[in-house]
Amino acid sequence: MDITLREGGPPVDVALPAVVTASLAATGAVTPAPTTQPGVWSLTPGTKIGAVAVGEHVLRIQPKIDVRRVIFLLGYALNPRGWQHDDVPLAHADDLLSAVAQAYALQVERALRPGVLHGYRTRDDALTVLRGRMRSTDQLQRRFALPLPLEVRYSEFTADTTENRTLKAAALRLLEMPVLPPATRGALRRVAFSWLADVAAVPARGLGKWHPSRLNSRYQPALALADIVLAGQSFEHARGPLPVTGFLLDMATLFEDFVTVALRHALTRHGGAVRPQYRTYFDQACAVPARPDLVWLHGNTPAAVVDAKWKAETAGGRVPNADLYQMLAYCTVLSLPRGHLVYARGNEAPAEHQVRNSHARITCHAVDLEQEPAALLAQIRELADELASVDVDAQPARSGRLVVL
């Protein structure tokens, strides 16, 4: 059975076995609730999008915005300098899983087309001839007085590198996902079983960490997508009482990451320093942590604070009270006269709230994610210019104790 929901949309009543419902609930993709009809559950989607397969049942949650925009946000958040909006043509992708798989297949084929990257890999082995250098301690502990085999360590120039292992592991993971387009599945098979046939298939938990360098620069867009596929966004046989395979992406986290990375990139021309997930505390005892999404510093002095929220404003331009309370707390802790809330919405003019009996003002910005990438990034640059226009010397004197780790 195929079930299709829309992110943040209304609940849908579906007849499902209780054990399947429990597995879907464990992924966090939906919140199930029993109905008055036996065996029928009301499934309410949240902020996660993607596809989940539980046995014969496949759940797809489509994003509120175009899939192409989701892939752009994802790619830009991974690599703002190297990712272009036309890197991933998605003419035939109608859901997130297909889009991610298609994007990955395209990027990894681009990376491998000039040739598979080779590198030196250190190996420990037991050989009948000396190669590299002896591991004397291992020789004594494992072989006692026997002269052979020799416990040695040597460097081998090979395609079996961390980068190639990562690419292969991501391709194999995607091949296990439900209902991929045939062309995408064929491309992933070529990657895993042809180009990278000599590379070891290592489980994600056993992979080493790749590090960007000049030598692997052409691999980096594909490696960044591979990390997303292999990390917490994808899962296999790990949720609930039944085996589950799928790929989920939390749009709230993605939007926060995109706004943070895009603002950090846009603020570089204004100097100062940008600190994502700025670490401070609400109280003097440092018992209650405060983590605004982004703080812009002049020297060591906070000059602007930003929090991104993946939720639409309510009717009449109002925002949830909890968001205003949270931003007011950030402004108080950081001794800032103004805070900025960034929402995913349309082209509305910013709304500003002057807090009573306080000097604090809270400005709510709305970015239109349906715009073309160039226009969207222009909105972010305008916001960065507004943040940078603050007069640091005119801000109120600091009071209380601010602890930054």
Which tokens hold the place of 341? 């809330």
Q: What is the DSSP letter of 313?
A: P
Q: What is the DSSP letter of 192?
A: I
Nearest CA among 362, 365, 338 for reference residue 349: 365
Q: Which CATH architecture has domain 271-394?
A: 3-Layer(aba) Sandwich (3.40)
- Return the domain boundaries, the chain: 2-115+162-251, 119-158, 271-394
Confidence of residue 196 (pLDDT cuts 50, 70, 90): very high
CA distance 170 to 167: 5
What does the pLDDT look like over 230-249, one tens digit per residue?
764 555 544 556 778 878 88
Upstream peptide bond of 178 is cis (omega within 30 degrees of 0): no
Q: What is the DSSP letter of 4?
A: E
What does the pLDDT look like over 257-287, one tens digit per residue?
999 999 999 999 898 899 999 999 999 999 9
Cβ neighbourhood burial of 174 (10 Å; 0-12, 13-18, 19+): buried
Say what the pLDDT of residue 381 is: 94
Nearest CA among 125, 117, 100, 111 for reference residue 199: 117
Confidence of residue 52 (pLDDT cuts 50, 70, 90): confident
Instruction: Work out the mean pLDDT of the chain and round it to a whole number.
Output: 83
Give the DSSP per-residue string, 227-288. Answer: HHHHTTTEEES-SSSS-EEEEEEEHHHHHHHHHHHHHHHHGGGG-SEEEET--EESSTTS-S
For residue 213, give Cα distances in angstroms to 76, 163, 210, 216, 218.
19, 11, 9, 6, 10
Task: Tell whether pTM > 0.85.
Answer: no
